A and B are shown apart, each in its own frame.
Chain A
Amino acid sequence: MLVINDLHVKLEEEDKQILKGVNLTVEPGKVHAIMGPNGSGKSTLSYVLSGKGGYEVTQGSATLEDAELLDMDAEERAAAGLFLAFQYPVEIPGVGNMTFLRTAVNAQRKARGEVEMSAGEFLKVIREKAKSLKIDAEMLKRPVNVGFSGGEKKRNEILQMAMLEPKMCILDETDSGLDVDAMKLVAEGVNALRTEDRGFLVITHYQRLLDHIIPDFVHIMSDGRIVKTGGPELALEIEHNGYGDILAEVA
């Protein structure tokens, strides 16, 4: 599904290398977690994959179902099936949440040469999906993320994911800023989307999210590289001992 090969990335504006050779393959139906200390390059990886500006790929490749992601515009990557749940979802005053979602769903459909969703059909689908995420009609009407609490913003991200039905989902610190109940709700939303043909890359600082979204693989990232890979037990190890031991071990 997603194949990242020897990815090197620097900041566009300054001579600072952030990713120094990332290799990672996510198979359909699998959940991969990336953990790592602050500044290890986790969020950069998610941004580079989804096409945010400000970064320069100096080496390597990233493909989604054999299509080279790094050559595409952000919207093309989305249409190809990539989705990033933002760590800090952006507030867009003046754009209604519903309008935004419908525009996005239909833009992707159009890009893929599919029939656009009618207003009625869209309404039916979104109501159903919003309900399971405890997103009420009022939240759908409000401008995108404006005045949303931390939990509401993250739930809104998952709603977008559910509506867009991507092939490959990247979750960037989706647990940050969430209390236990909100995290459970978000995790349930994610788990409901786990299917045989969908891949997940879950970026997190803490093990606790992985209690709810059980990963198949856990990778430890440090200084722009994946330095260790294991099963869910690796996350527990970090929870108990911190990153220090593991980083010392691989150094």
Chain B
Amino acid sequence: MALARKIIQVKQDATDARLSLLDLPDGATWITEARNAAMSRVKKMSLPHGRDEYWKFTKPDTFVQPEALKAPLFDNDEGPLWADVDRLKVVFVDGIFDAEASDDLSSEGLVIERLAVAALKDIHWAKDLYGVLEIRGQDAVQRPLAALNTAFATDGILVHVTGKVSKPLNLIYLYNSETSDVNLHHCIKIDAGAEVTILETGPGAARLNTVMEVDIADNSAFHHIRVQGRDHERRAVTGIFTRLGHESTFKSFTLTMNGVLTRNECVIELTGDNAIAHVAGACVGDGKDFHQDDTVFITHDSFNCESRQVFKKVLRNGATGVFQGKILVKKDAQKTDGYQISQALLLDDNSQFLAKPELEIYADDVACSHGSTTGAIDENSLFYLQSRGVPKAEATDLLVLAFLAEALQEIEDTMLAEGILERLNGWLARHGH
């Protein structure tokens, strides 16, 4: 009891210390209310602590502490990602929208605004979305860092998708300051029958906190591909909060390379019949300081929905990977089809994978399967390749890519998938052997 009380106190003190350095940004009434409410949520919940069940595998200290730790910029001569892909670039530098580096933000089927600008408008559609899905995501599990983002984010984009948009929207996160401490909050509202692809790339920040709320109306689709920066010391905590209407689709893929600490949360609510949600990730980590965490929570709350989670991690030299994935099937969500797989390939004995798959099912006519494996490179496969003349190092790379293939197959667009593969090959060349 005494210990529990002590931890509560420690958490409150840490939260106060953080909040004391932050000021709520100025804005119109609608957003100020949302920010105030978010601030109250943070105070009520307190920022996470290593003793919290949800943070058992990932130390939140460096996300919580007042100052961001330094992250030197990663220097390499790799070419740009997706150079041949026609996309609309939206660039943020140290957390602030950079108009000059960005493309013209007008595109057919899309209305794009900066949060910083929209926040000053008295009336805005984002009132019904900003912080709203984040609050819903707090329902089963507390996510105080997302609430912190809702309270203090000053920039981000608000996108209203009204039609089928063919050109992907690419959010690019750059940083100049080695201690950049960035909150970005995006709201994506997709009208019925509309469709959009959002890409997130770039080094990120020394400490990046992003929240993306995505409201997917009936018969609409959201595609998301994210490549998290290769800077070795960077930290990122991200939250995607989405709600799907009937016959709608959500597909998200994340590639994480390097970074000292990454926690990707994804909270999905299937609220309309026949909706589909796929979330996948590939992660490659090298070194004892590497820690990457995928935390997913999918709620099936409607008839005949499908959800699919595919996470693959390749870890070496003492790296750590975490997966916490939950499927909650509510009483009326009959005919739910839920699939979850999380797998780690450990390239040595020092690396580790911590997995917590969870199913909570109240409907009686569902198909849910889940699996989690941790293994090393298969010696027989390795010998087979070597016996054909493929050098051990090259054979290992081939098997690493083969292991990741199932996650990469979740990317529908072949050009985007190729870019991801190029990045992985680059990583293997630098870290593979």
Contacts and interface: CB of A to CB of B under 8 A. Distances in A.
A174 B85 CA distance: 48
B392 A95 contact: no
A90 interface: yes
13 contacts: A73-B391, A75-B386, A75-B389, A79-B389, A90-B383, A94-B401, A94-B404, A94-B406, A103-B390, A104-B385, A104-B389, A107-B389, A108-B389
Contacts of A94: 399, 401-406
A74 interface: yes
B402 A74 contact: no
A143 to B, nearest CB: 8
Nearest to B384: A90
B384 A103 contact: no
B413 interface: no
A147 to B, nearest CB: 15
B394 A107 contact: yes
Contact of B390 (A53, A89, A90, A107): A107
Q: Chain B interface mostly helix, strand, loop or mixed?
A: helix
A100 B388 contact: yes
B381 interface: yes
Contacts of A78: 386-389
Interface string A103-116: 11101100100000
A238 B117 CA distance: 90
Nearest to B405: A94
Interface in A85-127: 86, 89-90, 92-95, 99-101, 103-105, 107-108, 111
Nearest to B408: A94
B398 interface: yes
A164 interface: yes
A50 interface: yes
Contacts of B20: none
A103 B402 contact: no
B106 interface: no
Given A52-B383, A104-B389, A164-B388, 14 more contacts: A50-B387, A51-B387, A75-B390, A78-B387, A78-B389, A84-B387, A93-B405, A94-B404, A99-B398, A100-B398, A104-B388, A105-B389, A107-B388, A107-B391
A160 interface: yes
B380 interface: yes
Contacts of B402: 92-95, 143
A147 B287 CA distance: 36
Contacts of B391: 73, 75, 107, 111
B384 A73 contact: no
Interface residues of A, number: 32
B345 to A, nearest CB: 11
B100 interface: no
A78 B386 CA distance: 8
Interface in B349-388: 379-381, 383-388
Interface of B: 379-381, 383-392, 394-395, 398-399, 401-406
Nearest to B379: A53
Contact of A51 (B385, B386, B401, B404): B386
Contact of B380 (A84, A90, A103): A90
B24 to A, nearest CB: 49
Given A94-B401, A107-B391, A107-B394, A100 B385 contact: yes
Contacts of B384: 86, 89-90, 92, 144
Nearest to B395: A75
Query: Which of B388, B391, B394 has the most chain A CB atoms inside 10 A of its CB?
Result: B388
Contacts of A52: 383, 387
Nearest to A144: B384
A74 B395 CA distance: 12
Contacts of A93: 402, 405
B383 A160 contact: no
Nearest to B390: A107
A190 B45 CA distance: 72
B405 to A, nearest CB: 4
Contact of B392 (A75, A77, A99): A75
Contact of B394 (A50, A51, A89, A103): A103
B218 to A, nearest CB: 36
Given A53-B379, A86-B384, A89-B384, A95 B398 contact: yes
A53 B383 contact: yes
B361 to A, nearest CB: 30
B388 A92 contact: no
Contacts of A53: 379, 383
Contacts of B385: 92, 100, 104
Contacts of A105: 389
**Considering residues B387, B395, B398, which has the most beta carbons from chain A within 10 angstroms of its beta carbon?**
B387
A144 B398 CA distance: 12
A107 B398 CA distance: 13
Contacts of B392: 73, 75
Contacts of A144: 384
Contacts of A86: 384, 387
A143 B409 CA distance: 14
B235 to A, nearest CB: 31
B382 to A, nearest CB: 9
A167 to B, nearest CB: 13
A229 B383 CA distance: 31
Contacts of A103: 390, 394, 398
Interface in A44-102: 50-53, 73-75, 77-79, 83-84, 86, 89-90, 92-95, 99-101
A245 to B, nearest CB: 36
Q: Which 4 A-B pairs have CB atoms at the shortest separation, nearest pair first?
A: A94-B402, A78-B389, A74-B386, A108-B389
B297 to A, nearest CB: 29
A101 B379 CA distance: 19
Given A160-B388, A164-B389, A74 B399 contact: no
A44 B401 CA distance: 31
Interface centre among B386, B398, B403, B405 (most CB of A within 10 A): B386
A79 B389 CA distance: 6
B158 to A, nearest CB: 40
